[in-house]
Chains A and B, each alone.
Chain A
């Protein structure tokens, strides 16, 4: 299991996780309130600066963004085809800023900090009797935990294809990927039960 968190002592590392996540939420709302290419362009420059300041190194920095970059490219292409070039530019800028900001937050926040913040945020819902806050926190932490796992599974599936000279096809990649991921999810769920992590209601 790899982690998205990277050791360091940047300003972002020191900032409280609560502030970082609230800031990310606010930024994503603001991004969708403006369509000005100038404002979005400035935001992109700032976001690149923020992300580039992290002690990741050039190669890793790009590598981490690659899967999301593809998604963004597809969305932009789609809006270019069905809407307009302007629409496509706006979508491209917004999503790129969002991606960089989110990547900066996940790289400077540990999974346990995520769990803590999400648990606190869910407390009001818990008081209304709707959810168990600790469960919500754990669920969100696990989503973040599994992201690099899934990338790792993808790499082993790809290697297995390459080693046997089989062409990569969506079906032969996605099916084993899902099976591998569900299997490790099942084991992790077993560990959560066995270690009594959901026993104590805080």
Chain B
């Protein structure tokens, strides 16, 4: 994995959401922390091209998020803050299969891959369930399955444990630990990123810290105080 930001900025109207940023990401587990409105989501959305840089460029494994946007989406999966709206169709297996349609796969193949990804996350029994009946933890796992079924190289998660109880936090945490993909996780749950390889700290639209988790969390507490 190789994500490069070259002097990238993001503006919404005359408001600067992200100040110029030059940075390369290669680590397998990267955490993003910062106060509300500090630019974390904007930064994460730059990576898969859902937000385009107002100036400068962002490339993912050599692909430009502006000119190769579709290829970039294939490389970087994204789990939104609200997994309820991440799942597009109302039945879990139906939703997962949707991501595989139109790729020239046979019906049997689509079904097999859907089942395999459900089993991978230990939620084989949830395939025929309604999305609205799932608990918070199950919803996160279903969202994970729906994104990882298309085998992206990088997984970006926006506050995945935000609305979860302690048990489900631990479950999602363990699941993230077990992933082979590169993961970039935005989190207010500082335990979740405590053993990550690298942590980025954002403040008021600027990257103001970049280093090991313990150090960044300490800096974050200073800023927040």
Which A residues contact B (CB, under 8 angstroms)?
1-3, 5, 7, 110-112, 115, 134, 141-142, 145, 148, 184, 187-188, 190-197, 199-202
Verify B88–A191 contact, CB threshold 8 A: yes
Tell me whether B190 is interfacial, beta carbon within 8 Å.
no
Verify A194–B80 contact, CB threshold 8 A: yes
Tell me whether B147 is interfacial, beta carbon within 8 Å.
yes
Q: Name the residue among A1, A188, A191, A197 with the largest chain B CB count within 10 angstroms.
A: A191
Number of interface residues of B (CB under 8 A): 32
In the complex, what residues of B have CB within 8 A of residue A184's CB?
Answer: 85
In the complex, what residues of B have CB within 8 A of residue A191's CB?
Answer: 80, 85-88
In the complex, what residues of A have CB within 8 A of residue B84's CB?
Answer: 1
Nearest CB of A to B86, in Å: 5
Report the bound CA distance from A199 to B77 in whole Å.
Answer: 14
- Which among A187, A196, A202 is the interface contact of B70 at CB below 8 angstroms? A196
Report the bound CA distance from A39 to B130 in whole Å.
Answer: 39
Verify A196–B74 contact, CB threshold 8 A: yes
> What are 30 A-B residue pairs whose CB atoms fall within 8 Å in the complex?
A1-B84, A1-B90, A1-B132, A3-B131, A3-B132, A112-B89, A134-B101, A145-B89, A145-B90, A184-B85, A187-B82, A190-B50, A190-B85, A191-B85, A191-B86, A191-B87, A191-B88, A193-B50, A193-B73, A194-B50, A194-B77, A195-B73, A196-B74, A196-B99, A196-B150, A197-B88, A197-B98, A199-B102, A200-B104, A202-B102
